[in-house]
Amino acid sequence: MEEKNPEKIDLRTVATPALAYLGDCVLELCVRTHLVRKGISSSAHLNEKAMDYVRAQAQAAAMERLHPFLTEEEEAVYRRGRNQGHTTVPKSATPAEYRSATGMECLFGWLYLGGKSDRIDELFKLAYAEIEE
C-alpha cells in the first residue's frame, strides 16, 4: 500500500484525544485481524484472546518493546499522547500504564492518518511478538 496522507491533514494539529480515539480503533482492527488469521473462530474465544492485547497493561508492555524501534518523530507522538491529561484511570491499570497505553493509541492513530499502514503492521508485530511465543 502506498504510504501517503491523501487528505493532506496537518497531523501536528490533530487533537491528541482524537488521535487516541482513532488509534484505539486501529489497534483493535490489528488485533482482530491477527486473531482471525490465527484461525480462532469462536467469538467468545476471540474476545477473550483480544484482551491479552488491548488491556492498558498489555499496551504499556508492548510500548516498552517498541521504544527501541521508534523514530524520533514517532517517539514524540507517543510522548504527546502519554502526557495527555487524564481525569480517570480504569481500576485495572496504574496511571503510568494508562498513560503509556494512550500514547500507543495516539501513535497508531497518527500512523493511520499519515497513511503508514506498512509501519502499523511492522510495529504491531514488534509490539506483540512476546504474546506469540
Closest CA to 32 of 45, 21, 22: 45
| Helix (H) or strand (E) segment spanning residue 26 | helix 16-37
The grid coordinates listed for 18 are 482524537
Which residue shows C-alpha cell 491523501? 6
Tell me which of 10, 24, 118, 121 is the catalytic residue: 24
Q: Is 118 a catalytic residue?
A: no
Q: Which residues are catalytic?
A: 24
